[in-house]
C-alpha cells in the first residue's frame, strides 16, 4: 500500500457537517482532506432537504391554480410533466455538487473520491492508498432503513423517490415521521392517490399533540388517506401487471389490502457505520449503530471524532453544520471549547400546510416545569377568504407560569418555517410573554397572531 503525507484532519463524508468542518478547519490553517464515496453535499443536497423542498414547491401549483379563480384569474387547463420537474431538480442538484467542490477546493481542502475505512486511530485507507492524520472526523451520515418484512424488495425509499422514471397514479407511504408526511403532501399535491400508513395512533411523534391532530385534519381535507394504528405485514408483486403500471399489493395488519404503483418506506434512518473499520479502530457504537461521542464530539478513541447523523442525536442539516463548526473551533483554535445546545432547535416540516416549531411541547413543558400557560389560536388565513379553500392555520405559545418565559412556539400554516425562524431567535434570547405582547404586529399577516394572543387557553 502507498502512504501519503500527514494531515491535521481527515474527514470521512462530504455532507453538510463534514464539508463545514473541513472548510473551517482549513481556514484556521489545518491541512485537511475529505473523502466521499458518492456525491458531494451528502443527503441534504442530493436526496434530502434541497430536492424535497423543490418538489414541495412544485406540488403547490395545483392548489394555486384553483385558488386563482377567487382572485379573478381564469386559468386554462393545466397539465403536469413529472419528467420536467424531476430533471430540472437534478440539474440544480448537479450545480450544487459543483458549488460544494469549489467551496472545498477554494478553502484548500483536498477532495478524495472513494470509500474510506479506518485502519487504526491515525490511518485511513481508500482502495490501496493509506492516509495518516492527527485527527479523524467521521461524518458519514445516515441512510433510509426498510424493515425486514416479506416483499421488502418491492418497496422504495426517499432516495429512489427523487428519481422515479414515471409518476405513479397510486402511492402508499409507510411511516409517521416528517419524511413520510412531507412525501404524502408532495405526491398528493402532484395528483397521485395517496395513502399514509402508520403503526401508532397518530403520526409525528415528538411534536406537540395539538399540532399533530391539526395536521392530520388538514391532510384529510386534501384527500390523503391516513391509516393509523396498523402496519404493513407484507408487500407482493401483482401478477399480470406490466410497466409502466407494474403494481404492488400492500397487506395490512388489520386485514386490509391496498394496491399501489409504488410503496415508499419512510420508517427511519440508520447511521452509516458499516464497513468503516470502526471495530478495527475500537470505536464504540450504540445498539442502533450510532457512534458514541462526548460533548466535544470525541469518541472513546483519542483522535477520532464524529458528528452529524452518524452520532444519531438530532438528524438535521443545521445541527450537523453547527457540530462541524465546533470541531474546527475545538481542534484548531485557542478559543474555549464549544458544543451545540440541543434544547432550542427550530424545526420545520414541509408538509402542506407547513409545520414550524421551536422549544418545548405542551406535554414536555408540563413535565419539566409544572405550571404553564397555554395560548392557542386557529383561523382561516386571509388568502382563503377569497380562494374559498377550507384550510386553517394554527398557532400556539407555551409559557412558564411563574417566570413568564416563553418555552415553546408552534405553528401550522403557510411559511411556518420562515416565521418560526424569527421566533427561535426570541426564545434563544430568553423572551417572555410580555416581550411578545409589547411587540408591534405586522398587519395583515398570519405572523402577527404570535404577538396578539392575550388570553391563556389553560393553566395548570
Domain ranges of the chain: 2-143+270-332, 152-267, 347-459
The CA distances from residue 99 to 45, 85, 96, 102, 103, in Å, are 11, 21, 5, 5, 6
Tell me: the pLDDT tens digits for 68-106?
A: 999 999 998 999 999 999 999 999 999 999 999 999 999
pLDDT (average), residues 189-200: 98
Average pLDDT of the chain to the nearest whole number: 96
| Residue 242: per-residue pLDDT | 60
- Answer left, alpha or beta for residue 38, where phi above 0 means left and psi between -120 and 50 means alpha: alpha
pLDDT of residue 239: 78
pLDDT at 30 over 60: yes
Model pLDDT for residues 314-332, shown as the tens digit of each residue: 999 999 999 999 999 999 9
Q: Which three cell numbers stand for residue 195?
A: 395513502
pLDDT (mean) for 213-235: 98
- How far is Cα 22 from Cα 324, in angstroms, rounded to an integer? 8
Q: Could you tell me the sign of the dihedral formed by the alpha carbons of 441, 443, 447, 451, in that order?
A: positive
Across the range 344-349, mean pLDDT stands at: 97
What is the structure's pLDDT at 458? 56
443 given a catalytic annotation: yes
Q: Give the predicted TM-score (pTM) of the model.
A: 0.96
Kindly list the distances between the CA atom of residue 36 and the CA atoms of 116, 139, 410, in Å, as whole numbers in the listed order: 8, 10, 37
Mean pLDDT computed over 246-267: 96
- Supply the CATH classification number for the domain 2-143+270-332: 3.50.50.60
Q: How much is the pLDDT for 5?
A: 66
pLDDT at position 244 is: 53
Domain covering 152-267, topology = FAD/NAD(P)-binding domain (3.50.50)
Do the domains 152-267 and 347-459 sit in the same CATH topology, yes or no? no
**Spatial separation of the C-alpha atoms in residues 414 and 392, rounded to whole Å:** 10
pLDDT at 252 over 70: yes
> Which pLDDT does position 27 carry in this prediction?
97
> What local confidence, expressed as pLDDT, does residue 246 receive?
76
Does residue 459 have a pLDDT over 60?
no
Q: Quick one: pLDDT at residue 230?
A: 98
Active-site residue, selected from the candidate residues 60, 245, 410, 443: 443
In the predicted structure, residue 245 carries a pLDDT above the cut 70: no
Residue pointed to by grid coordinates 400508513? 197
For position 152, what pLDDT does the model report?
Answer: 97
CATH superfamily of 347-459: FAD/NAD-linked reductase, C-terminal dimerisation domain (3.30.390.30)
Read off the pLDDT of residues 383-429 as tens digits, 9 standing for 90 and up. 999 999 999 999 999 999 999 999 999 999 999 999 999 999 999 99
Cα distance between residue 325 and residue 70, in whole Å: 48
328-344 pLDDT per residue, tens: 999 999 999 999 999 99
Task: Compute the average pLDDT of residues 36-42.
Answer: 95
Amino acid at each position: 500500500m502507498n502512504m501519503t503525507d500527514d494531515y491535521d484532519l481527515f474527514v470521512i463524508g462530504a455532507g453538510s457537517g463534514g464539508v463545514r468542518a473541513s472548510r473551517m478547519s482549513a481556514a484556521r490553517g489545518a491541512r485537511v482532506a475529505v473523502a466521499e464515496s458518492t456525491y458531494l453535499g451528502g443527503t441534504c443536497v442530493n436526496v434530502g432537504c434541497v430536492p424535497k423542498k423543490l418538489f414541495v414547491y412544485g406540488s403547490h401549483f395545483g392548489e394555486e391554480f384553483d385558488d386563482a379563480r377567487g382572485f379573478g384569474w381564469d386559468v386554462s387547463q393545466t397539465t403536469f410533466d413529472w419528467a420536467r420537474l424531476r430533471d430540472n431538480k437534478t440539474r440544480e442538484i448537479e450545480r450544487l455538487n459543483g458549488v460544494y467542490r469549489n467551496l472545498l477546493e477554494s478553502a484548500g481542502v483536498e477532495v478524495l473520491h472513494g470509500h474510506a475505512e479506518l485502519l487504526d486511530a491515525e490511518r485511513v485507507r481508500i482502495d490501496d492508498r493509506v492516509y495518516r492524520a492527527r485527527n479523524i472526523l467521521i461524518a458519514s451520515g445516515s441512510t433510509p432503513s426498510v424493515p425486514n418484512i416479506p416483499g421488502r424488495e418491492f418497496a422504495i425509499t426517499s432516495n429512489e423517490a427523487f428519481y422515479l422514471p414515471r409518476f405513479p397514479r397510486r402511492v402508499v407511504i409507510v411511516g409517521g415521521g416528517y419524511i413520510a408526511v412531507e412525501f404524502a403532501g408532495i405526491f398528493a399535491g402532484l395528483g397521485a392517490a395517496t395513502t399514509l400508513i402508520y403503526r401508532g395512533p397518530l403520526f409525528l411523534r415528538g411534536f406537540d399533540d395539538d399540532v399533530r391532530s391539526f395536521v392530520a385534519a388538514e391532510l384529510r381535507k386534501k384527500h390523503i388517506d391516513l391509516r393509523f394504528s396498523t402496519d404493513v405485514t407484507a408487500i407482493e408483486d401483482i401478477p399480470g401487471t406490466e410497466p409502466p403500471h407494474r403494481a404492488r399489493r400492500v397487506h395490512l395488519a388489520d386485514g386490509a389490502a391496498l394496491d399501489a404503483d409504488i410503496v415508499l418506506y419512510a420508517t427511519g434512518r440508520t447511521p452509516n457505520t458499516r464497513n468503516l473499520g470502526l471495530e478495527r479502530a475500537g470505536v464504540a457504537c450504540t445498539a442502533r449503530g450510532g457512534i458514541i461521542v462526548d460533548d466535544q464530539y470525541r469518541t472513546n478513541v483519542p483522535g477520532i471524532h464524529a458528528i452529524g447523523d452518524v452520532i444519531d442525536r438530532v438528524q438535521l442539516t443545521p445541527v450537523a453544520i453547527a457540530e462541524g463548526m465546533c470541531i474546527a473551533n475545538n481542534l484548531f483554535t485557542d478559543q474555549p471549547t464549544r458544543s451545540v445546545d440541543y434544547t432550542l432547535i427550530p424545526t420545520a416540516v414541509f408538509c402542506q400546510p407547513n409545520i414550524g416549531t421551536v422549544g418545548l411541547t405542551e406535554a414536555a413543558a408540563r413535565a419539566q416545569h409544572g405550571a404553564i400557560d397555554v395560548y392557542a389560536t386557529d383561523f382561516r388565513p386571509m388568502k382563503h377568504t377569497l380562494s374559498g379553500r377550507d384550510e386553517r392555520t394554527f398557532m400556539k405559545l407555551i409559557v412558564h407560569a411563574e417566570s413568564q418565559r416563553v418555552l415553546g412556539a408552534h405553528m401550522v400554516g403557510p411559511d411556518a418555517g420562515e416565521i418560526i425562524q424569527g421566533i427561535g431567535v426570541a426564545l434563544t434570547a430568553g423572551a417572555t410573554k410580555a416581550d411578545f405582547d409589547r411587540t408591534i404586529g405586522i398587519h395583515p399577516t398570519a405572523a402577527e397572531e404570535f404577538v396578539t394572543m392575550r388570553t391563556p387557553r389553560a393553566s395548570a
